[in-house]
């Protein structure tokens, strides 16, 4: 959650850094902060040090909250106006820092209410801000950015009727608000979106008051648990909205784009899925739930675990709901440390759809595990993905999902049901609302089970060939024979 290591006991650097770019920025800034020379402010880095996306995120501060105001008219979908205030804490004295924002004309930047001394755009998405006054280490500050223009398609998707949907992993957020765009910096989010009256806006979290003024309506939403930027969303359409409550009182808001079939059984199904997953993972981590169902075949992602209210292309069916709702625990509440960690979200979410099938009567040893192995044992390409650290551009490869789900079942058989589900529950409680890495998961599974799982995880998560039989068929799993 912290972008750069804090310096110890007031020892800070006297050197003024240029904008640090590239993978070495985190280390470079960290080292200088720990230097011995007494000091002035530093320049925040243009990246948080992600091994895959060195310019994602920024160093020098930690965002606490985003307050995003947007103005959008579906009759003019090539224009979006934004007014976003970012509240953050400086993790170093700063005379300059970056936000991530792609495209748009920026018309004004205020830091703590005072016009910035300088603002420039560099690289793919850097908004470089020089505040009028230096920021002290530890200081809480606000940055207000006003911007307008054509929203980049990477994270802002225009629907067939002119409505829009904002989401995108890994980089979608910068297409609609200035952010510290890296999963390691989680923050709460409030959205207020003004649209012509007749359109509806759905966002993350709990709804606030909707106000109407001169033929325009402003919808407000607030997610009070810290979230990764890629899990932020707003969706604008002529939605049909259904509201109900889970058994524990958690409010649910489901929204359906025009023309989508609404199954009257969905509220019960979604409640059952959340209740089932809670029995496996621990208490549901957020204070609201629901889904945003967008018309199929439109230019939107297949589905995304937008926090507390996943986005679906098409209807709310059990397979995508089980996957995306699992992400509320795995990915959203407990988030990546960096983009090597996809398995902590996708391996579990993909396996959860099997757990749901098991709940409905499937035998996972035969129907899922051995059935899949029969198809893939002779296919080297299936095994070629590194589940951990798949490589830049491959961070969300399908192989992570498919091989990862098999690995989860093998792990369950290797450590037994009690320790497997205890590991999942301990993971979601120990790291709730924060970040953890795939190596953290490996360590926790070994700790909970008391077993040395080094060989198991090396074979499954860090190799590109079929695991040896002892790891492929742990516990009661019977060997699969392929006949050709």
Please provide the distance, in angstroms rounded to a whole number, between the alpha carbons at the two ends of the chain: 52
**Residue among 266, 323, 318, 314 nearest 293 (CA):** 314
Q: In angstroms, what is the minimal distance from the CB of 330 to Zn ion?
A: 9
Nearer to Zn ion, 165 or 346 (CB): 346
Query: Which range in 70-78, 338-346, 416-424, 448-456 contacts Zn ion by CB under 5 A?
Result: 338-346
Angle at which helix 454-461 crosses helix 398-415, to 10 degrees, equals 160
Count of chain residues binding Zn ion (CB under 5 A): 2
Q: What is the DSSP string of 245-278?
A: E-TT--EEEEEE-TT----TTHHHHHHHHHHHHH
Q: In angstroms, what is the minimal distance from the CB of 347 to Zn ion?
A: 10
The interface with Zn ion within residues 416-455 (CB under 5 A) comprises none
- Number of residue whose CB is nearest Zn ion: 349
Is the separation of the CB atoms in 171 and 56 below 8 Å?
yes
Q: Does the footprint of Zn ion cover residue 348 (CB under 5 A)?
A: no
Q: In angstroms, what is the minimal distance from the CB of 306 to Zn ion?
A: 11
Using only C-alpha atoms, what is the Rg of the chain?
23
Q: Which two tokens stand for residue 123?
A: 């690289």
Query: Which range in 4-12, 30-38, 272-280, 342-350 contacts Zn ion by CB under 5 A?
Result: 342-350
Cα gap 124→129, rounded to integer Å: 16
Residue 290 to residues 172, 254, 260, 265, 357, Cα–Cα distance (Å): 21, 5, 16, 14, 21
Nearer to Zn ion, 164 or 349 (CB): 349
Query: Which range in 25-33, 55-63, 91-99, 346-354 contacts Zn ion by CB under 5 A?
Result: 346-354
Percent of the chain as helix, strand, coil, to the nearest 5: 30, 30, 45
3 state DSSP class of 190: strand
Nearer to Zn ion, 73 or 357 (CB): 357
Q: In angstroms, what is the minimal distance from the CB of 344 to Zn ion?
A: 11
3 state DSSP class of 375: helix
Cα gap 399→403, rounded to integer Å: 6
- The DSSP symbol for 75 reads T
Query: Which range in 136-144, 227-235, 339-347, 450-458 contacts Zn ion by CB under 5 A?
Result: 339-347
Q: In angstroms, what is the minimal distance from the CB of 326 to Zn ion?
A: 8
CA dihedral 98, 104, 228, 74 (to 10 degrees): 170
Cα gap 429→421, rounded to integer Å: 12
Q: In angstroms, what is the minimal distance from the CB of 312 to Zn ion?
A: 12
Nearer to Zn ion, 401 or 473 (CB): 401
Nearer to Zn ion, 54 or 310 (CB): 310
Beta pairing class for 164-166 and 234-237: antiparallel
Nearer to Zn ion, 239 or 330 (CB): 330
- The DSSP symbol for 479 reads P
3 state DSSP class of 202: strand
Q: In angstroms, what is the minimal distance from the CB of 350 to Zn ion?
A: 7
Is the separation of the CB atoms in 92 and 137 below 8 Å?
yes
Query: Which range in 47-55, 101-109, 341-349, 457-465 contacts Zn ion by CB under 5 A?
Result: 341-349
Nearer to Zn ion, 145 or 321 (CB): 321
Nearer to Zn ion, 128 or 342 (CB): 342
Q: In angstroms, what is the minimal distance from the CB of 194 to Zn ion?
A: 31
Q: Which one among 255, 274, 349, 406 touches Zn ion, defined by CB under 5 A?
A: 349
Binding characters for Zn ion, 295-334, by CB under 5 A (x = yes): ----------------------------------------
Nearer to Zn ion, 330 or 382 (CB): 330
Q: In angstroms, what is the minimal distance from the CB of 199 to Zn ion?
A: 28
Nearer to Zn ion, 346 or 395 (CB): 346
Cα gap 376→398, rounded to integer Å: 14
Q: In angstroms, what is the minimal distance from the CB of 349 to Zn ion?
A: 5
Q: In angstroms, what is the minimal distance from the CB of 252 to Zn ion?
A: 20
Q: In angstroms, what is the minimal distance from the CB of 221 to Zn ion?
A: 22
Adjacent-strand bridge partners of 222: 190, 206
**Residue among 346, 362, 429 nearest 395 (CA):** 346
Nearer to Zn ion, 223 or 346 (CB): 346
Query: Which range in 75-83, 208-216, 307-315, 344-352 contacts Zn ion by CB under 5 A?
Result: 344-352
Q: Which two tokens stand for residue 84?
A: 């976003």
Query: Which range in 48-56, 147-155, 223-231, 340-348 contacts Zn ion by CB under 5 A?
Result: 340-348
For 392-411, b where at least 16 C-beta lie within 10 A, e where not — what string? eebbebebbbbbbbbbbbbb
Cα gap 255→235, rounded to integer Å: 9
Query: Which range in 19-27, 75-83, 347-355, 472-480 contacts Zn ion by CB under 5 A?
Result: 347-355
Which residues of the chain form contacts with Zn ion (CB under 5 A)?
Answer: 346, 349
């Amino acid at each position: 959650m912290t972008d750069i290591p804090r310096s110890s006991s007031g020892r800070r650097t006297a050197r003024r850094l240029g904008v640090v770019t590239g993978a070495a920025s985190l280390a470079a800034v960290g080292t200088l902060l720990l230097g011995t020379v007494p000091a002035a402010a530093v320049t925040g880095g243009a990246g948080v040090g992600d091994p895959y996306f060195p310019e994602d995120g920024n160093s020098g501060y930690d965002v606490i909250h985003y307050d995003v105001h947007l103005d959008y008219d579906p009759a003019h979908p090539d224009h979006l106006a934004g007014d976003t205030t970012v509240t953050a804490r400086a993790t170093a004295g700063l005379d300059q820092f970056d936000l991530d924002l792609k495209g748009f004309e920026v018309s004004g930047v205020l830091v703590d209410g005072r016009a910035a001394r300088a603002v420039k755009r560099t690289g793919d998405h850097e908004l470089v801000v020089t505040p009028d006054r230096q920021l002290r280490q530890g200081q809480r500050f606000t940055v207000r950015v006003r911007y307008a223009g054509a929203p980049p398609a990477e994270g802002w998707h225009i629907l067939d009727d002119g409505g829009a949907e904002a989401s995108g992993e890994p980089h979608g957020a910068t297409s609609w608000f200035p952010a510290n765009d890296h999963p390691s910096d989680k923050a709460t989010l409030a959205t207020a979106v003004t649209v012509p009256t007749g359109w509806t806006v759905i966002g993350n979290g709990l709804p606030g008051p909707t106000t109407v003024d001169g033929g325009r309506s402003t919808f407000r939403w607030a997610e009070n648990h810290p979230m990764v930027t890629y899990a932020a969303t707003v969706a604008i359409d002529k939605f049909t909205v259904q509201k109900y409550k889970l058994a524990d009182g958690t409010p649910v808001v489901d929204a359906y784009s025009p023309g989508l079939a609404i199954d009257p059984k969905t509220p019960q199904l979604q409640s059952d899925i959340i209740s089932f997953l809670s029995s496996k993972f621990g208490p549901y981590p957020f204070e609201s739930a629901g889904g945003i169902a967008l018309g199929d075949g439109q230019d939107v992602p297949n589905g995304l675990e937008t926090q507390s209210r996943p986005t679906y292309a098409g209807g709310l069916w059990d397979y995508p709901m089980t996957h995306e709702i699992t992400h509320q625990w795995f990915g959203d509440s407990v988030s990546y440390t960096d983009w090597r960690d996809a398995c902590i979200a996708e391996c579990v979410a993909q396996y959860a759809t099997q757990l749901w099938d098991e709940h409905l009567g499937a035998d996972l040893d035969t129907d899922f595990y051995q059935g899949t192995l029969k198809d893939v044992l002779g296919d080297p390409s299936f095994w070629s993905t590194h589940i951990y650290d798949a490589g830049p551009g491959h961070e969300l490869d399908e192989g992570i999902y498919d091989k990862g789900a098999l690995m989860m079942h093998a792990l369950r058989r290797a450590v037994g049901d009690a320790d497997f589900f205890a590991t999942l529950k301990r993971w979601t409680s120990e790291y709730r609302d924060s970040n953890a890495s795939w190596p953290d998961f490996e360590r926790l599974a070994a700790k909970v089970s008391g077993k040395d799982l080094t060989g198991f995880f090396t074979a499954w998560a860090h190799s590109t060939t079929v695991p040896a039989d002892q790891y492929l068929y742990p516990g009661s799993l019977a060997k699969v024979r392929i006949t050709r």
